[in-house]
Structure 1
Protein backbone atom coordinates (compact mmCIF):
# COMPACT_ATOMS: atom_id res chain seq x y z
CA UNK A 1 0.00 0.00 0.00
CA UNK A 2 1.50 3.30 -1.10
CA UNK A 3 1.04 6.75 0.41
CA UNK A 4 -0.53 7.85 -2.87
CA UNK A 5 -3.14 5.07 -2.66
CA UNK A 6 -3.93 5.99 0.94
CA UNK A 7 -4.33 9.67 0.09
CA UNK A 8 -6.62 8.93 -2.87
CA UNK A 9 -8.81 6.58 -0.84
CA UNK A 10 -9.04 9.09 2.00
CA UNK A 11 -10.31 11.77 -0.39
CA UNK A 12 -12.86 9.35 -1.89
CA UNK A 13 -14.34 8.69 1.56
CA UNK A 14 -14.30 12.35 2.58
CA UNK A 15 -15.77 13.59 -0.72
CA UNK A 16 -18.44 10.86 -0.78
CA UNK A 17 -17.87 9.78 -4.38
CA UNK A 18 -15.23 8.99 -6.96
CA UNK A 19 -16.45 11.83 -9.18
CA UNK A 20 -16.03 14.49 -6.49
CA UNK A 21 -12.71 12.92 -5.38
CA UNK A 22 -11.39 13.16 -8.95
CA UNK A 23 -12.21 16.88 -9.05
CA UNK A 24 -10.58 17.47 -5.65
CA UNK A 25 -7.44 15.60 -6.72
CA UNK A 26 -7.30 17.12 -10.24
CA UNK A 27 -7.32 13.58 -11.63
CA UNK A 28 -9.52 11.84 -14.17
CA UNK A 29 -12.34 9.66 -12.83
CA UNK A 30 -10.90 6.48 -14.47
CA UNK A 31 -7.50 7.18 -12.85
CA UNK A 32 -9.09 7.43 -9.40
CA UNK A 33 -11.07 4.25 -10.00
CA UNK A 34 -7.88 2.48 -11.09
CA UNK A 35 -6.15 3.42 -7.81
CA UNK A 36 -9.03 1.90 -5.81
CA UNK A 37 -9.01 -1.30 -7.88
CA UNK A 38 -5.25 -1.65 -7.37
CA UNK A 39 -5.68 -1.18 -3.64
CA UNK A 40 -8.48 -3.74 -3.43
CA UNK A 41 -6.40 -6.29 -5.36
CA UNK A 42 -3.49 -5.82 -2.98
CA UNK A 43 -5.74 -6.17 0.10
CA UNK A 44 -7.77 -9.07 -1.25
CA UNK A 45 -11.18 -7.53 -0.48
CA UNK A 46 -13.43 -4.77 -1.77
CA UNK A 47 -13.59 -1.31 -0.25
CA UNK A 48 -16.51 0.00 -2.28
CA UNK A 49 -19.91 -1.54 -2.94
CA UNK A 50 -20.69 -1.06 -6.61
CA UNK A 51 -24.44 -1.23 -7.16
CA UNK A 52 -25.55 -0.09 -10.58
CA UNK A 53 -23.72 3.16 -11.33
CA UNK A 54 -23.27 4.04 -7.68
CA UNK A 55 -20.22 3.30 -5.51
CA UNK A 56 -20.41 3.57 -1.74
CA UNK A 57 -17.76 2.85 0.87
CA UNK A 58 -18.52 -0.41 2.68
CA UNK A 59 -17.74 -1.34 6.27
CA UNK A 60 -14.31 -2.72 5.39
CA UNK A 61 -13.57 0.50 3.57
CA UNK A 62 -14.57 2.62 6.59
CA UNK A 63 -12.38 0.57 8.93
CA UNK A 64 -9.44 1.02 6.55
CA UNK A 65 -10.22 4.74 6.23
CA UNK A 66 -9.87 5.34 9.99
CA UNK A 67 -6.50 3.54 10.03
CA UNK A 68 -5.33 5.44 6.94
CA UNK A 69 -6.21 8.78 8.54
CA UNK A 70 -4.00 7.95 11.53
CA UNK A 71 -1.11 6.94 9.27
CA UNK A 72 -1.39 10.02 7.03
CA UNK A 73 -1.63 12.36 10.02
CA UNK A 74 1.51 10.74 11.44
CA UNK A 75 3.29 11.21 8.09
CA UNK A 76 2.18 14.86 7.87
CA UNK A 77 3.39 15.45 11.43
CA UNK A 78 6.72 13.83 10.56
CA UNK A 79 7.09 15.98 7.44
CA UNK A 80 6.40 19.16 9.42
CA UNK A 81 8.81 18.25 12.22
CA UNK A 82 11.60 17.18 9.89
CA UNK A 83 11.28 20.40 7.90
CA UNK A 84 12.92 22.18 10.84
CA UNK A 85 15.75 19.69 11.26
CA UNK A 86 17.85 21.20 8.46
CA UNK A 87 17.48 24.69 9.91
CA UNK A 88 18.55 23.45 13.35
CA UNK A 89 21.58 21.48 12.12
CA UNK A 90 24.95 22.76 13.35
CA UNK A 91 26.94 24.68 10.73
CA UNK A 92 30.72 24.32 11.14
CA UNK A 93 32.61 27.41 9.99
CA UNK A 94 36.37 27.56 9.59
CA UNK A 95 38.03 30.95 9.46
CA UNK A 96 41.53 32.28 9.04
CA UNK A 97 42.74 34.37 11.95
CA UNK A 98 42.67 37.72 10.14
CA UNK A 99 39.11 37.28 8.88
CA UNK A 100 38.00 36.07 12.32
CA UNK A 101 39.44 39.24 13.85
CA UNK A 102 38.15 41.75 11.34
CA UNK A 103 35.12 40.52 9.36
CA UNK A 104 33.59 37.31 10.68
CA UNK A 105 31.80 38.65 13.82
CA UNK A 106 29.81 41.12 11.72
CA UNK A 107 29.07 38.49 9.06
CA UNK A 108 27.78 36.03 11.65
CA UNK A 109 25.50 38.70 13.12
CA UNK A 110 24.01 39.24 9.64
CA UNK A 111 23.71 35.49 9.08
CA UNK A 112 21.72 35.12 12.31
CA UNK A 113 19.09 37.50 10.99
CA UNK A 114 18.75 35.30 7.87
CA UNK A 115 18.88 31.89 9.63
CA UNK A 116 18.08 32.49 13.31
CA UNK A 117 17.52 28.78 14.06
CA UNK A 118 20.88 27.58 12.74
CA UNK A 119 23.59 27.15 15.41
CA UNK A 120 27.13 28.05 14.35
CA UNK A 121 30.45 26.61 15.50
CA UNK A 122 33.57 28.56 14.53
CA UNK A 123 37.07 27.11 14.20
CA UNK A 124 39.86 29.69 13.82
CA UNK A 125 43.18 28.64 12.29
CA UNK A 126 45.70 29.68 9.68
CA UNK A 127 44.50 29.90 6.08
CA UNK A 128 46.16 26.69 4.85
CA UNK A 129 44.58 24.70 7.69
CA UNK A 130 41.12 26.11 6.91
CA UNK A 131 41.49 24.96 3.31
CA UNK A 132 42.46 21.49 4.57
CA UNK A 133 39.47 21.36 6.94
CA UNK A 134 37.01 22.23 4.16
CA UNK A 135 38.55 19.66 1.81
CA UNK A 136 38.35 17.01 4.57
CA UNK A 137 34.74 17.96 5.46
CA UNK A 138 35.85 19.00 8.96
CA UNK A 139 34.28 22.41 8.23
CA UNK A 140 31.13 23.02 6.17
CA UNK A 141 32.31 26.37 4.86
CA UNK A 142 35.55 28.30 5.25
CA UNK A 143 36.76 31.87 5.16
CA UNK A 144 40.30 32.40 3.97
CA UNK A 145 42.54 34.92 2.25
CA UNK A 146 45.12 35.11 -0.46
CA UNK A 147 45.60 32.67 -3.32
CA UNK A 148 43.53 29.48 -3.23
CA UNK A 149 44.04 27.23 -6.26
CA UNK A 150 42.26 24.02 -5.13
CA UNK A 151 40.03 22.86 -8.01
CA UNK A 152 37.77 20.96 -5.58
CA UNK A 153 36.69 24.19 -3.89
CA UNK A 154 33.93 26.61 -4.81
CA UNK A 155 35.16 30.14 -4.04
CA UNK A 156 33.24 33.39 -3.54
CA UNK A 157 35.19 36.68 -3.12
CA UNK A 158 33.74 39.19 -0.67
CA UNK A 159 36.38 41.80 0.18
CA UNK A 160 40.06 42.56 -0.05
CA UNK A 161 42.57 44.34 2.15
CA UNK A 162 45.89 46.08 1.69
CA UNK A 163 48.90 44.96 3.72
CA UNK A 164 51.09 47.60 5.37
CA UNK A 165 54.68 47.43 6.57
CA UNK A 166 54.69 49.40 9.83
CA UNK A 167 57.13 50.22 12.61
CA UNK A 168 57.47 52.67 15.48
CA UNK A 169 58.21 56.24 14.46
CA UNK A 170 61.66 56.36 16.09
CA UNK A 171 63.18 53.33 14.33
CA UNK A 172 65.80 53.97 11.61
CA UNK A 173 63.52 52.32 9.01
CA UNK A 174 60.81 54.89 9.79
CA UNK A 175 63.17 57.72 8.92
CA UNK A 176 64.11 56.11 5.60
CA UNK A 177 60.45 55.84 4.54
CA UNK A 178 61.40 53.54 1.62
CA UNK A 179 63.61 50.49 1.99
CA UNK A 180 65.52 49.06 -0.93
CA UNK A 181 65.54 45.31 -1.42
CA UNK A 182 69.19 45.24 -0.33
CA UNK A 183 68.21 46.72 3.05
CA UNK A 184 65.62 44.07 3.95
CA UNK A 185 68.00 41.53 5.47
CA UNK A 186 69.29 44.07 8.00
CA UNK A 187 65.82 44.72 9.51
CA UNK A 188 64.10 43.04 12.43
CA UNK A 189 60.93 41.49 11.05
CA UNK A 190 57.71 40.77 12.97
CA UNK A 191 55.78 38.31 10.83
CA UNK A 192 52.93 35.85 10.82
CA UNK A 193 53.73 32.14 10.71
CA UNK A 194 54.35 30.21 7.45
CA UNK A 195 51.04 28.92 6.04
CA UNK A 196 49.15 32.08 6.97
CA UNK A 197 47.79 34.08 4.04
CA UNK A 198 49.69 37.24 5.06
CA UNK A 199 53.03 35.44 5.31
CA UNK A 200 52.41 33.56 2.05
CA UNK A 201 51.75 36.86 0.24
CA UNK A 202 55.07 38.28 1.45
CA UNK A 203 57.10 35.12 0.79
CA UNK A 204 55.66 34.80 -2.73
CA UNK A 205 56.58 38.40 -3.52
CA UNK A 206 60.09 38.01 -2.11
CA UNK A 207 60.66 34.84 -4.15
CA UNK A 208 60.08 36.87 -7.32
CA UNK A 209 63.09 38.95 -6.23
CA UNK A 210 65.02 35.83 -5.15
CA UNK A 211 64.94 37.01 -1.55
CA UNK A 212 64.12 35.42 1.78
CA UNK A 213 63.94 37.04 5.20
CA UNK A 214 64.00 35.43 8.62
CA UNK A 215 61.73 37.03 11.25
CA UNK A 216 62.94 37.83 14.74
CA UNK A 217 59.34 37.52 15.98
CA UNK A 218 56.93 35.03 14.47
CA UNK A 219 53.35 34.67 15.70
CA UNK A 220 49.95 33.23 14.80
CA UNK A 221 48.40 36.32 16.35
CA UNK A 222 48.45 39.58 14.37
CA UNK A 223 47.58 41.58 17.49
CA UNK A 224 50.78 40.43 19.19
CA UNK A 225 52.77 41.59 16.17
CA UNK A 226 51.04 44.97 16.35
CA UNK A 227 52.02 45.30 20.02
CA UNK A 228 55.59 44.26 19.21
CA UNK A 229 55.72 46.96 16.52
CA UNK A 230 54.39 49.54 18.99
CA UNK A 231 57.17 48.47 21.39
CA UNK A 232 59.76 49.25 18.72
CA UNK A 233 60.88 45.67 18.17
CA UNK A 234 60.89 45.79 14.38
CA UNK A 235 58.82 46.04 11.22
CA UNK A 236 55.48 44.23 11.12
CA UNK A 237 53.38 43.30 8.10
CA UNK A 238 49.72 43.75 9.01
CA UNK A 239 46.34 44.47 7.42
CA UNK A 240 46.05 48.22 6.88
CA UNK A 241 42.71 48.36 8.71
CA UNK A 242 44.29 46.86 11.82
CA UNK A 243 46.86 49.65 12.15
CA UNK A 244 44.83 52.67 11.00
CA UNK A 245 44.53 54.15 14.48
CA UNK A 246 48.24 54.03 15.48
CA UNK A 247 49.12 55.33 12.00
CA UNK A 248 46.76 58.27 12.45
CA UNK A 249 48.17 59.10 15.91
CA UNK A 250 51.77 58.75 14.71
CA UNK A 251 52.63 55.86 17.05
CA UNK A 252 53.37 53.79 13.98
CA UNK A 253 54.53 54.85 10.54
CA UNK A 254 54.25 53.01 7.25
CA UNK A 255 57.43 51.91 5.54
CA UNK A 256 57.48 51.45 1.77
CA UNK A 257 59.53 48.66 0.24
CA UNK A 258 60.92 49.12 -3.23
CA UNK A 259 58.91 47.13 -5.78
CA UNK A 260 56.60 45.42 -3.25
CA UNK A 261 52.91 46.24 -2.82
CA UNK A 262 50.76 43.58 -1.16
CA UNK A 263 47.01 43.02 -1.11
CA UNK A 264 44.97 39.97 -0.09
CA UNK A 265 41.59 38.83 -1.40
CA UNK A 266 39.09 37.36 1.09
CA UNK A 267 37.13 34.27 0.07
CA UNK A 268 34.30 32.10 1.27
CA UNK A 269 35.11 28.51 0.28
CA UNK A 270 33.21 25.22 0.31
CA UNK A 271 33.71 21.84 -1.28
CA UNK A 272 32.13 21.52 -4.71
CA UNK A 273 30.48 18.24 -3.66
CA UNK A 274 29.01 19.71 -0.46
CA UNK A 275 25.22 19.49 -0.15
CA UNK A 276 23.84 23.02 -0.40
CA UNK A 277 21.68 23.38 2.70
CA UNK A 278 19.48 26.39 3.37
CA UNK A 279 22.18 27.72 5.72
CA UNK A 280 24.83 27.50 3.01
CA UNK A 281 22.49 29.20 0.54
CA UNK A 282 22.05 32.01 3.09
CA UNK A 283 25.83 32.39 3.40
CA UNK A 284 26.20 32.54 -0.38
CA UNK A 285 23.53 35.23 -0.55
CA UNK A 286 25.19 37.19 2.27
CA UNK A 287 28.69 36.96 0.78
CA UNK A 288 27.50 37.95 -2.69
CA UNK A 289 25.77 41.03 -1.29
CA UNK A 290 28.87 41.87 0.79
CA UNK A 291 31.11 41.50 -2.26
CA UNK A 292 28.80 43.75 -4.30
CA UNK A 293 28.95 46.43 -1.60
CA UNK A 294 32.75 46.40 -1.77
CA UNK A 295 32.68 46.55 -5.59
CA UNK A 296 30.45 49.63 -5.42
CA UNK A 297 32.82 51.47 -3.10
Structure 2
Protein backbone atom coordinates (compact mmCIF):
# COMPACT_ATOMS: atom_id res chain seq x y z
CA UNK A 1 0.00 0.00 0.00
CA UNK A 2 1.23 3.50 -0.86
CA UNK A 3 0.04 7.03 -0.18
CA UNK A 4 -1.17 7.00 -3.79
CA UNK A 5 -3.55 4.13 -2.97
CA UNK A 6 -4.94 6.10 -0.05
CA UNK A 7 -5.42 9.29 -2.05
CA UNK A 8 -7.26 7.37 -4.76
CA UNK A 9 -9.43 5.65 -2.15
CA UNK A 10 -10.32 8.94 -0.40
CA UNK A 11 -11.26 10.55 -3.72
CA UNK A 12 -13.46 7.59 -4.67
CA UNK A 13 -15.10 7.74 -1.25
CA UNK A 14 -15.77 11.50 -1.55
CA UNK A 15 -17.07 11.28 -5.12
CA UNK A 16 -18.84 7.90 -4.80
CA UNK A 17 -17.67 7.21 -8.34
CA UNK A 18 -14.48 5.72 -9.81
CA UNK A 19 -15.05 7.55 -13.08
CA UNK A 20 -15.41 10.95 -11.40
CA UNK A 21 -12.45 10.20 -9.11
CA UNK A 22 -10.32 9.37 -12.15
CA UNK A 23 -11.20 12.67 -13.80
CA UNK A 24 -10.46 14.57 -10.61
CA UNK A 25 -7.07 12.84 -10.22
CA UNK A 26 -6.27 12.95 -13.96
CA UNK A 27 -5.94 9.19 -14.20
CA UNK A 28 -7.99 6.57 -16.03
CA UNK A 29 -10.97 4.80 -14.50
CA UNK A 30 -9.29 1.36 -14.81
CA UNK A 31 -6.31 2.73 -12.85
CA UNK A 32 -8.65 3.86 -10.08
CA UNK A 33 -10.43 0.49 -10.09
CA UNK A 34 -7.11 -1.35 -9.91
CA UNK A 35 -5.95 0.70 -6.91
CA UNK A 36 -9.16 -0.07 -4.99
CA UNK A 37 -8.90 -3.75 -5.95
CA UNK A 38 -5.31 -3.86 -4.66
CA UNK A 39 -6.36 -2.38 -1.32
CA UNK A 40 -9.20 -4.85 -0.97
CA UNK A 41 -6.98 -7.78 -1.93
CA UNK A 42 -4.17 -6.73 0.38
CA UNK A 43 -6.41 -6.63 3.48
CA UNK A 44 -8.98 -9.21 2.29
CA UNK A 45 -11.86 -6.79 2.80
CA UNK A 46 -14.61 -5.12 0.77
CA UNK A 47 -14.41 -1.32 0.82
CA UNK A 48 -17.40 -0.49 -1.37
CA UNK A 49 -20.69 -2.15 -2.19
CA UNK A 50 -21.44 -1.75 -5.89
CA UNK A 51 -25.21 -1.43 -6.35
CA UNK A 52 -27.01 -0.05 -9.43
CA UNK A 53 -23.81 1.59 -10.71
CA UNK A 54 -23.36 3.43 -7.42
CA UNK A 55 -20.74 2.94 -4.73
CA UNK A 56 -21.65 2.63 -1.07
CA UNK A 57 -18.82 2.45 1.52
CA UNK A 58 -18.89 -0.57 3.79
CA UNK A 59 -18.19 -0.24 7.51
CA UNK A 60 -14.59 -1.21 6.71
CA UNK A 61 -14.50 1.47 4.05
CA UNK A 62 -15.74 4.02 6.57
CA UNK A 63 -12.98 3.00 8.98
CA UNK A 64 -10.28 3.18 6.31
CA UNK A 65 -11.53 6.62 5.25
CA UNK A 66 -10.89 8.01 8.74
CA UNK A 67 -7.38 6.56 8.86
CA UNK A 68 -6.55 7.50 5.26
CA UNK A 69 -7.58 11.10 5.75
CA UNK A 70 -5.35 11.47 8.77
CA UNK A 71 -2.39 9.71 7.16
CA UNK A 72 -2.63 11.98 4.11
CA UNK A 73 -2.96 15.04 6.32
CA UNK A 74 0.00 13.96 8.44
CA UNK A 75 2.19 13.57 5.37
CA UNK A 76 1.01 16.91 3.99
CA UNK A 77 1.71 18.48 7.39
CA UNK A 78 5.17 16.92 7.51
CA UNK A 79 6.02 18.29 4.08
CA UNK A 80 4.66 21.71 5.00
CA UNK A 81 6.60 21.72 8.26
CA UNK A 82 9.84 20.80 6.47
CA UNK A 83 9.31 23.62 3.98
CA UNK A 84 7.95 26.23 6.40
CA UNK A 85 11.08 28.36 6.25
CA UNK A 86 10.77 28.80 2.51
CA UNK A 87 7.02 28.82 1.87
CA UNK A 88 3.96 30.59 3.23
CA UNK A 89 2.35 29.26 6.36
CA UNK A 90 -1.12 27.96 5.54
CA UNK A 91 -4.05 27.77 7.92
CA UNK A 92 -7.60 26.53 7.28
CA UNK A 93 -9.98 27.72 10.01
CA UNK A 94 -13.66 27.08 10.68
CA UNK A 95 -15.86 29.29 12.84
CA UNK A 96 -19.45 29.43 13.98
CA UNK A 97 -21.35 32.66 13.34
CA UNK A 98 -20.50 34.22 16.70
CA UNK A 99 -16.77 33.65 16.33
CA UNK A 100 -16.89 34.45 12.62
CA UNK A 101 -18.65 37.76 13.21
CA UNK A 102 -16.91 38.98 16.33
CA UNK A 103 -13.71 37.18 17.35
CA UNK A 104 -12.04 35.61 14.36
CA UNK A 105 -11.01 38.87 12.67
CA UNK A 106 -9.01 40.00 15.71
CA UNK A 107 -7.26 36.62 15.93
CA UNK A 108 -6.40 36.67 12.24
CA UNK A 109 -5.06 40.23 12.42
CA UNK A 110 -2.69 39.23 15.22
CA UNK A 111 -1.68 36.08 13.37
CA UNK A 112 -0.87 38.10 10.23
CA UNK A 113 1.36 40.40 12.25
CA UNK A 114 3.39 37.37 13.36
CA UNK A 115 3.23 35.73 9.92
CA UNK A 116 2.84 38.48 7.31
CA UNK A 117 3.26 36.11 4.34
CA UNK A 118 0.79 33.54 5.66
CA UNK A 119 -2.21 32.24 3.74
CA UNK A 120 -5.43 31.87 5.74
CA UNK A 121 -8.77 30.49 4.61
CA UNK A 122 -11.85 30.78 6.79
CA UNK A 123 -15.18 28.94 6.60
CA UNK A 124 -18.04 30.44 8.63
CA UNK A 125 -21.00 28.12 9.06
CA UNK A 126 -23.14 26.44 11.69
CA UNK A 127 -21.26 24.19 14.10
CA UNK A 128 -22.67 20.92 12.74
CA UNK A 129 -21.14 21.72 9.34
CA UNK A 130 -17.84 22.84 10.85
CA UNK A 131 -17.40 19.70 12.99
CA UNK A 132 -18.09 17.51 9.96
CA UNK A 133 -15.36 19.37 8.07
CA UNK A 134 -12.95 18.80 10.96
CA UNK A 135 -13.66 15.08 10.84
CA UNK A 136 -12.96 15.03 7.11
CA UNK A 137 -9.70 16.97 7.61
CA UNK A 138 -10.96 19.86 5.51
CA UNK A 139 -10.04 22.26 8.34
CA UNK A 140 -7.00 22.54 10.61
CA UNK A 141 -9.05 23.78 13.56
CA UNK A 142 -12.27 25.57 14.40
CA UNK A 143 -13.57 28.20 16.82
CA UNK A 144 -17.07 27.13 17.87
CA UNK A 145 -19.22 26.63 20.97
CA UNK A 146 -18.30 23.87 23.40
CA UNK A 147 -19.43 20.42 22.25
CA UNK A 148 -20.85 17.53 24.27
CA UNK A 149 -17.85 15.24 24.80
CA UNK A 150 -16.99 14.25 21.22
CA UNK A 151 -14.71 11.20 21.27
CA UNK A 152 -12.72 12.15 18.17
CA UNK A 153 -12.30 15.90 18.72
CA UNK A 154 -10.23 17.85 21.25
CA UNK A 155 -11.65 21.03 22.80
CA UNK A 156 -9.60 23.87 24.22
CA UNK A 157 -11.95 26.28 26.04
CA UNK A 158 -10.85 29.89 25.71
CA UNK A 159 -13.87 32.23 25.90
CA UNK A 160 -17.02 32.72 28.01
CA UNK A 161 -20.10 33.63 26.01
CA UNK A 162 -23.81 33.95 26.65
CA UNK A 163 -27.04 33.91 24.68
CA UNK A 164 -29.52 36.73 25.24
CA UNK A 165 -33.14 37.41 24.32
CA UNK A 166 -33.69 40.90 22.95
CA UNK A 167 -36.60 43.00 21.74
CA UNK A 168 -37.47 46.54 20.72
CA UNK A 169 -37.26 48.75 23.88
CA UNK A 170 -41.01 49.47 23.64
CA UNK A 171 -41.98 45.78 23.38
CA UNK A 172 -44.95 44.99 25.64
CA UNK A 173 -43.11 42.38 27.75
CA UNK A 174 -41.02 45.12 29.36
CA UNK A 175 -44.19 46.25 31.16
CA UNK A 176 -44.11 43.05 33.26
CA UNK A 177 -42.28 43.05 36.57
CA UNK A 178 -41.25 39.43 36.11
CA UNK A 179 -40.78 37.79 32.70
CA UNK A 180 -40.93 34.00 32.66
CA UNK A 181 -39.84 31.40 30.13
CA UNK A 182 -43.53 30.65 29.55
CA UNK A 183 -44.00 34.30 28.50
CA UNK A 184 -41.18 33.90 25.99
CA UNK A 185 -42.60 30.67 24.56
CA UNK A 186 -45.87 32.45 23.76
CA UNK A 187 -44.24 35.31 21.83
CA UNK A 188 -43.38 35.47 18.10
CA UNK A 189 -39.86 34.03 18.12
CA UNK A 190 -37.34 35.09 15.47
CA UNK A 191 -34.70 32.36 15.54
CA UNK A 192 -31.65 31.00 13.78
CA UNK A 193 -32.06 27.73 11.89
CA UNK A 194 -31.78 24.31 13.55
CA UNK A 195 -28.23 23.01 13.91
CA UNK A 196 -26.78 26.32 15.07
CA UNK A 197 -25.38 26.46 18.57
CA UNK A 198 -27.60 29.35 19.67
CA UNK A 199 -30.79 27.64 18.49
CA UNK A 200 -29.86 24.27 20.00
CA UNK A 201 -28.98 25.81 23.37
CA UNK A 202 -32.20 27.84 23.52
CA UNK A 203 -34.37 24.84 22.60
CA UNK A 204 -32.56 22.67 25.15
CA UNK A 205 -33.05 25.19 27.97
CA UNK A 206 -36.74 25.66 27.12
CA UNK A 207 -37.25 21.89 26.88
CA UNK A 208 -35.74 21.44 30.34
CA UNK A 209 -38.48 23.78 31.59
CA UNK A 210 -41.13 21.71 29.82
CA UNK A 211 -41.72 24.25 27.07
CA UNK A 212 -41.98 23.63 23.34
CA UNK A 213 -41.10 26.45 20.96
CA UNK A 214 -42.42 27.13 17.48
CA UNK A 215 -40.51 29.93 15.71
CA UNK A 216 -42.38 32.66 13.88
CA UNK A 217 -39.30 33.32 11.72
CA UNK A 218 -36.22 31.24 10.95
CA UNK A 219 -33.17 32.76 9.29
CA UNK A 220 -29.52 31.99 8.61
CA UNK A 221 -28.79 35.70 8.97
CA UNK A 222 -28.38 37.33 12.39
CA UNK A 223 -28.69 40.75 10.71
CA UNK A 224 -32.10 39.81 9.28
CA UNK A 225 -33.29 38.74 12.75
CA UNK A 226 -31.98 41.93 14.33
CA UNK A 227 -33.73 44.10 11.75
CA UNK A 228 -36.99 42.18 12.18
CA UNK A 229 -36.74 42.62 15.95
CA UNK A 230 -36.13 46.35 15.60
CA UNK A 231 -39.27 46.49 13.45
CA UNK A 232 -41.26 44.80 16.25
CA UNK A 233 -42.04 41.56 14.42
CA UNK A 234 -41.15 39.64 17.59
CA UNK A 235 -38.22 38.82 19.86
CA UNK A 236 -34.94 37.19 18.92
CA UNK A 237 -32.37 34.96 20.64
CA UNK A 238 -28.75 35.66 19.69
CA UNK A 239 -25.23 35.66 21.17
CA UNK A 240 -24.56 38.73 23.30
CA UNK A 241 -21.43 39.54 21.29
CA UNK A 242 -23.52 40.01 18.15
CA UNK A 243 -26.15 42.30 19.68
CA UNK A 244 -24.16 44.16 22.34
CA UNK A 245 -23.70 47.27 20.17
CA UNK A 246 -27.45 47.43 19.51
CA UNK A 247 -28.11 47.14 23.24
CA UNK A 248 -25.53 49.83 24.02
CA UNK A 249 -27.08 52.20 21.46
CA UNK A 250 -30.61 51.62 22.79
CA UNK A 251 -31.91 50.10 19.56
CA UNK A 252 -32.56 46.79 21.34
CA UNK A 253 -33.07 45.84 24.96
CA UNK A 254 -32.35 42.58 26.73
CA UNK A 255 -35.29 40.68 28.19
CA UNK A 256 -34.26 39.33 31.59
CA UNK A 257 -36.07 36.02 31.95
CA UNK A 258 -36.48 34.48 35.38
CA UNK A 259 -34.87 31.04 35.64
CA UNK A 260 -33.49 31.02 32.11
CA UNK A 261 -29.71 31.32 31.94
CA UNK A 262 -28.02 30.63 28.62
CA UNK A 263 -24.31 30.72 29.31
CA UNK A 264 -21.89 28.82 27.11
CA UNK A 265 -18.20 28.63 26.27
CA UNK A 266 -16.37 28.95 22.99
CA UNK A 267 -13.61 26.48 22.24
CA UNK A 268 -10.77 25.88 19.82
CA UNK A 269 -11.59 22.46 18.39
CA UNK A 270 -9.38 20.12 16.37
CA UNK A 271 -9.17 16.42 15.58
CA UNK A 272 -7.44 14.29 18.18
CA UNK A 273 -4.93 13.05 15.57
CA UNK A 274 -4.16 16.51 14.21
CA UNK A 275 -0.53 17.24 13.41
CA UNK A 276 0.36 20.63 14.92
CA UNK A 277 2.28 22.94 12.61
CA UNK A 278 3.86 26.16 13.87
CA UNK A 279 0.97 28.06 12.28
CA UNK A 280 -1.64 26.13 14.28
CA UNK A 281 0.26 26.63 17.52
CA UNK A 282 0.60 30.36 16.82
CA UNK A 283 -3.12 30.73 16.19
CA UNK A 284 -4.16 28.83 19.33
CA UNK A 285 -1.83 30.94 21.46
CA UNK A 286 -3.30 34.14 19.97
CA UNK A 287 -6.87 33.00 20.71
CA UNK A 288 -5.99 32.52 24.39
CA UNK A 289 -4.28 35.89 24.58
CA UNK A 290 -7.32 37.66 23.15
Shift in Å, 1:243: 2.4
Q: Find the aligned partners of 1:102 and 1:263 in 2 and give their Cα distance.
A: 17
Q: What is the SS of the residue equivalent to 1:116?
A: coil
Q: Find the aligned partners of 2:260 and 2:219 in 1 and give their Cα distance.
A: 22
What's the CA shift string for 1:130-154, capped at 9, x where partnerless? 1111111111111101434212112
Shift in Å, 1:160: 1.6
Distance verdict in 2 for CA 1:219–1:86, change over 3 Å: farther
Task: Name the structure 2 match of 1:108.
Answer: 108
C-alpha contact 2:182 2:211 (8 A) present in aligned 1: no
Task: Name the structure 2 match of 1:143.
Answer: 143
Task: Name the structure 1 match of 2:71.
Answer: none
Task: Name the structure 1 match of 2:122.
Answer: 122
Gaps of 5+ in 1: 1-78, 291-297
Q: Find the aligned partners of 2:182 and 2:82 in 1 and give their Cα distance.
A: 65
Shift in Å, 1:85: 6.6
C-alpha contact 2:145 2:266 (8 A) present in aligned 1: yes
Q: Find the aligned partners of 2:282 and 2:86 in 1 and give their Cα distance.
A: 13
Q: In the alignment, does 2:261 pair up with 1:254?
A: no
Task: Name the structure 2 match of 1:282.
Answer: 282
Task: Name the structure 2 match of 1:22.
Answer: none
Higher Rg? 1
If the length of structure 1 is used for normalisation, what is the TM-score?
Answer: 0.66
Shift in Å, 1:248: 3.2
Shift in Å, 1:239: 2.0
If the length of structure 2 is used for normalisation, what is the TM-score?
Answer: 0.67
Q: What is the SS of the residue equivalent to 2:149?
A: coil
Task: Name the structure 2 match of 1:37.
Answer: none
What's the CA shift string for 1:220-260, capped at 9, x where partnerless? 22122111111111111122233233323433222122210
Q: What is the SS of the residue equivalent to 2:265?
A: strand
Structure 1's consecutive aligned runs of 4 or more residues displaced over 4 angstroms after TM superposition are: none
Shift in Å, 1:88: 2.0
Q: What is the SS of the residue equivalent to 1:142?
A: strand
Alignment of 1:27-38 (within 5 A): none
Shift in Å, 1:192: 1.1
Shift in Å, 1:186: 2.0
Q: What is the SS of the residue equivalent to 2:166?
A: strand
Gaps of 5+ in 2: 1-78
Alignment of 1:29-48 (within 5 A): none
C-alpha contact 1:163 1:262 (8 A) present in aligned 2: yes
Task: Name the structure 2 match of 1:163.
Answer: 163
Shift in Å, 1:284: 2.2
